[in-house]
Chains A and B, each alone.
Chain A
Amino acid sequence: MTTTTTTAGGVKVVKPTVASYINDYWGRVRGGDLGTLPAILGLIVLSLIFGIARDTFFSGLNFANLFNQSAQVVFIAMGLIFVLLLGEIDLSAGFASGVCGAVVAILLTNHGWDWYTAIPAALVTGVVIGFVLGLLVAKLGIPSFVVTLAAFLAFQGVLLVLLGGGTNISTRNEFFNALNNNNLSVAWSWILAIVAIVGYAAAQLNAMRSRAKRGLVTDPMGIVLMRIGGLAVLIVVATVVLTQERAINPAINSLKGVPIVVPIIGFFLVLWTFVLGRTAYGRHVYAVGGNTEAARRAGIPVDRIRISVFVIGSFMAAIGGIMAVSRASSVDPNTGGSNILLYSVGAAVIGGTSLFGGKGKIINAVIGGAVIAVIDNGMTLMGFNSGTKFIVTGLILLVAASVDALARRRAAATGNR
């Protein structure tokens, strides 16, 4: 079945077929490189369980809610993935998002700023927070666990101080509140769905063509088409569901269309995936996470990379905070507190990002975030209380961390290192 081909410089390689590709993938999985597979399987199983137990779980209303509910965690998790890739941790991301959320709310409500100045101010706050954290970790050499644990406590205090001891500040800016509450029109929903599918297909086929032109080995056409087809089906089905009327009483207030937050998540997913996968900066992040000494010897500015991941981490936390405040249309001393940080770390790890550094992708935040949102949402529908939900989420995080640790051992045993 296999044919060999000669690639760059006369190195003989096996030309992959669909069968050999799947075989290789399975080999990697067995060798400990699980990627997002456990999270995707978990997502399917959990959805089926909740769907069978409560038919409201699969309703359009609930489906749309999942996106709005999980947005904060997904954004924070995206930033955390950069930090985790370096084998570091940011325990302050939850309250950093709260602080940035408070900044935006105070500027909007108390100072009368508009969203286009208040939001950038909150983002700058996030960047400054990340820069300070990164500086302490990279230049002073304090373990990130300690720096961010201190910051966790301090930001909780900052949030209280900003809110004058514990009051709640509401936001009334329409645009701002729409971000994580309202939906795109049906027409825009479909336009974006089509743009996403065509964009993905073009990127995949283009990459394949440019490799083939150089005589390099490409993924088999069948696999590429399956990927494009799979994504297209997923997006079309989701768009069909989300563009149905889902209001309980449509006569009063019609409710349909893709939540506005979905393209925002999509934007950051594409942006950070591009940065990590296609730029030298992203390559260097992986290198520092994989082997810091090797990266240093290759001339990579290790300290700067370390600072930058904390900056990206807190920047994304700021986005998460903005989304949380928009969703609640208010900020209070517990915005970004409670289980937000642990859910975010959980999302990244459940999605397949390693706590040991060097391994992870931005999509992990979205898939892992979906798993956590489904657990939280499904168990609420089934009437479980918060206590039970925390216990179950905690156990699932433990399972994910064990999978990570075992996969690592497995990889160490199968790779020659």
Chain B
Amino acid sequence: MAATPLLELNGINKGFGPVQVLHDVNLSVYPGEVTALVGDNGAGKSTMVKCISGIYQIDSGTVTFEGNQVAIHGPSDASALGIEVVYQDLALCDNLDVVQNMFLGREKKRGIVLDEPTMEQMAGDALASLSVRTLKSLRQLVASLSGGQRQTVAIAKAVLWNSKVVILDEPTAALGVAQTAQVLELVRRLADNGLGVVLISHNMNDVFAVSDRIAALYLGRMAAQVKTTDVTHSQVVELITGGRSGNIGLPPEKPADFGGDVVDITPGGDK
């Protein structure tokens, strides 16, 4: 496994007015690996993703990408670095077709005119590289796609741009069994192609099926980041629901020395 992380978050804090959502969060994403980000509803997973993608600005902390500290001020900064996000509430425009959505905001042009043939061809190639064969037409409006097909389009968008890190926020939440399997297969294929993948999911089976590492968020704090092979289902569930499991996770009451990479936190310390 690769030793140096592709993307590294250090001591990230983020609040909305008086509400502190993320407390000193750390996260490492490695190339060729799927890192599962788990946590209860409201733990701050989506907020964290939006901080990485520049939709929200972090209050403090550092983001390191390929060894360099970077500042991400907006979605275009993130995509310029090669970070793609597939959002929980899918960021697709229903009134546009598959190709138009895949190139949204980054259209190919010849002079001032959109270069539709090139875009259509590239979109087709990206879908083919993921072995997607379920679309009737690349010019189909996204409104007419099934949930799985929409996810597929969103994921293919990430491949299109030769991204280095792809973050998927609950890509299988609304899908049936067959489509979930398809999407998970896509996720695995992304990592096998050398990308760093972050997968957010509430489904432990999905997490254990595809991930190499698991990062557990508990009430806005990173409880632990462990190798998937080192933990069991129930340990992960404990991390999610209680923030700790045995000697991994957050300290029980007051900050105590656990000798791990656990951050020193005083509960109730929100300002």
A residues at B contact (CB < 8 Å): 7-14, 31, 210-211, 213-214, 216-217, 278-280, 283-284, 286-287, 289-291, 293-300, 358-359, 411, 414-417
Contacts and interface: CB of A to CB of B under 8 A. Distances in A.
A411 B143 contact: yes
A417 B141 CA distance: 12
B171 to A, nearest CB: 15
- Which residue among B53, B93, B133 has the maximum number of chain A CB atoms within 10 Å of its CB? B93
Contacts, number: 130
Contact of B91 (A8, A298, A411, A414): A298
A208 to B, nearest CB: 11
A279 B91 contact: no
B75 A358 contact: no
A416 B128 contact: no
Given A9-B121, A216-B120, A278-B113, A415 B138 contact: no
Given A214-B121, A216-B121, A299-B76, A278 B92 contact: no
Contacts of B106: 298-299
Nearest to A13: B137
B79 interface: yes
A9 B124 contact: yes
Contact of A415 (B74, B104, B125, B141): B141
B129 interface: yes
Contacts of B117: 210-211, 213-214, 216
Contacts of B128: 8-11
Given A279-B112, A416-B144, A295 B125 contact: no
Contacts of B92: 291, 294
B133 A11 contact: yes
Contacts of B141: 415
Interface in B90-135: 90-96, 100, 104-107, 109, 112-114, 116-118, 120-129, 132-133, 135
10 smallest CB-CB distances across A and B, nearest first, come from A8-B124, A298-B105, A9-B124, A9-B128, A415-B143, A290-B95, A290-B93, A299-B76, A9-B125, A294-B91
B146 interface: yes
Given A9-B121, A11-B127, A416 B93 contact: no
B75 A296 contact: yes
A416 B146 contact: yes
B146 A297 contact: no
B158 to A, nearest CB: 13
B138 A8 contact: yes
B212 to A, nearest CB: 27
- Which residue among B114, B122, B146 has the maximum number of chain A CB atoms within 10 Å of its CB? B114
A266 to B, nearest CB: 20
Interface of B: 53, 55, 74-76, 79, 85, 87, 89-96, 100, 104-107, 109, 112-114, 116-118, 120-129, 132-133, 135-139, 141, 143-147
A13 B124 CA distance: 11
Given A278-B114, A280-B109, A286-B100, 20 more contacts: A8-B120, A11-B124, A11-B133, A13-B136, A14-B136, A210-B117, A211-B116, A217-B139, A286-B93, A287-B104, A290-B94, A290-B96, A291-B91, A291-B94, A291-B95, A295-B105, A297-B55, A297-B85, A298-B91, A414-B144
6 contacts: A10-B128, A211-B116, A280-B109, A293-B89, A299-B75, A416-B145
B75 A283 contact: no
A286 B96 contact: yes
A11 B130 CA distance: 11
B143 A417 contact: yes
A291 B104 CA distance: 12
B93 A294 contact: yes
B113 A283 contact: no
- Which residue among A284, A295, A417 has the maximum number of chain B CB atoms within 10 Å of its CB? A417
A300 B139 CA distance: 22
B93 A287 contact: yes
Contacts of A414: 144
Contacts of B100: 283, 286-287
Nearest to A211: B117
A88 B31 CA distance: 44
A314 B79 CA distance: 35
Contacts of A359: 95
Contacts of A293: 89, 91
Given A9-B124, A214-B121, A297 B143 contact: no
A299 B79 contact: yes
Contacts of A286: 93, 95-96, 100
Nearest to B104: A298
Contacts of B133: 11-12
Contact of A298 (B75, B125, B127): B75
A9 B127 contact: yes
Contacts of B94: 290-291, 358, 415, 417
A290 to B, nearest CB: 4
Nearest to A277: B114
B93 A8 contact: no
A216 B105 CA distance: 23
A11 B144 contact: no
Contact of A279 (B95, B114, B121): B114
B123 A8 contact: yes
